[in-house]
């Protein structure tokens, strides 16, 4: 049999993205979501994005894990706002969310982007959700798009 010199077929399906957004501190997380949606729209990817709401940041890793393992998504964007209160609750919610997201992304190899604000005050969170110091949701969507290309390069699926 003659040796084939052709390259393996490149993936032709469009990558899909999932945004997982926490409802807790919804006034802020809605702004993060709007920022992420703007970036996907500007990149012409709006039709390839699904969005799921969860009660709070503590629930984010569960949904991100299921989505990453499903094989349906090229990247998952997580959005939330954990604002320090008077109890150690903040540390548990923020810490477990970050740890969970990192575990999922390393375990599955699917980029799971940490677009979760962890701030001392509501003002700091507002400033990072579009008021003064950018929008963490926009940054997270950018990261998802960039990581999707990076992972495609690694797997040889990059559209060159
Ligand atoms: N969830 C958040 O997303 N942000 C917070 O600041 C927060 N605080 O401060 O409590 C928060 N708590 C809820 C948590 O994420 C879970 O939804 C809840 O504990 C149920 O498991």
Q: What does the pLDDT profile of the chain (160 residues) look like in tens digits? A: 555 555 555 556 899 999 999 999 999 999 999 999 999 999 999 999 999 999 999 999 999 999 999 999 999 999 999 999 877 889 999 999 999 999 999 999 999 999 999 999 999 999 999 999 999 999 999 999 999 999 999 998 776 5
Name the residue of 58, 78, 83 whose CB sits within 8 Å of the most ligand 1 atoms, as the mutation to test its pocket. Answer: 58
Ligand 1 centroid–CA 74 distance in Å is 27
Asked if 111 and 147 touch (Cβ cutoff 8 Å), the reply is yes
Q: Which residues line ligand 1 (CB under 6 A)?
A: 22, 24-25, 55-59, 80-83, 85, 89-90, 93
Q: Under a CB-based contact definition with an 8 Å cutoff, are residues 21 and 129 in contact? A: no
Question: Is 49 within the bounds of a domain?
Answer: no
In a domain? residue 10: no
Locate 119 and state its tokens.
Answer: 């701030």
116 Cα nearest atom in ligand 1: 3
Cite the active site residues.
89
User: Is residue 57, in this structure, part of any structural domain at all?
Assistant: no
Counting from 1 in the atom list of ligand 1, the atom nearest the Cα of 55 is: 17
Per-residue confidence (pLDDT) for residue 12, from 0 to 100? 64
Q: State both tokens at 31.
A: 């702004």
Is position 67 within any domain? yes
Domain presence at residue 9: no
CATH number, domain of 103, equals: 3.40.50.960
Ligand 1, atom nearest to 57 Cα: 3
CA of 38 to the centre of ligand 1 (A): 26
- Structural domain for 66, as ranges: 17-22+32-42+62-153
User: What pLDDT is recorded for position 4?
Assistant: 53
| Dihedral of the alpha carbons of 120, 122, 123, 124, in degrees to the nearest 10 | 40
Q: With respect to residue 3, please indicate whether it lies within any of the assigned structural domains.
A: no
For ligand 1, atom 4, the nearest C-alpha belongs to 82
Query: Count of domains in the chain?
Result: 1
**Residue 4 is assigned to a structural domain of this protein:** no
**Does residue 109 sit within a domain?**
yes
pTM above 0.75, yes or no: yes
CA distance linking residue 150 with residue 144, whole number of Å: 10
């Amino acid at each position: 049999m003659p040796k084939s010199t052709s390259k393996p077929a490149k993936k032709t399906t469009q990558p899909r993205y999932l945004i997982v957004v926490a409802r807790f501190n919804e006034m802020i997380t809605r702004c993060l979501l709007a920022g992420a949606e703007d970036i996907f729209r500007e990149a012409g990817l709006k039709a390839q994005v699904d969005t799921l709401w969860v009660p709070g940041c503590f629930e984010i890793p569960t949904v991100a894990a299921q989505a990453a393992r499903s094989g349906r998504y090229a990247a998952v964007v997580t959005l939330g706002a954990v604002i320090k209160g008077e109890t150690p609750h903040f540390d548990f919610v923020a810490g477990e969310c970050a740890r969970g997201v990192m575990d999922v992304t390393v375990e599955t190899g699917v980029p799971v982007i940490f677009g979760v604000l962890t701030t001392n005050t509501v003002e700091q969170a507002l400033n990072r959700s579009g008021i003064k110091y950018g929008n963490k949701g926009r940054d997270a969507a950018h990261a998802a798009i960039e990581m999707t290309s990076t992972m495609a390069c690694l797997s040889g699926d990059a559209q060159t």
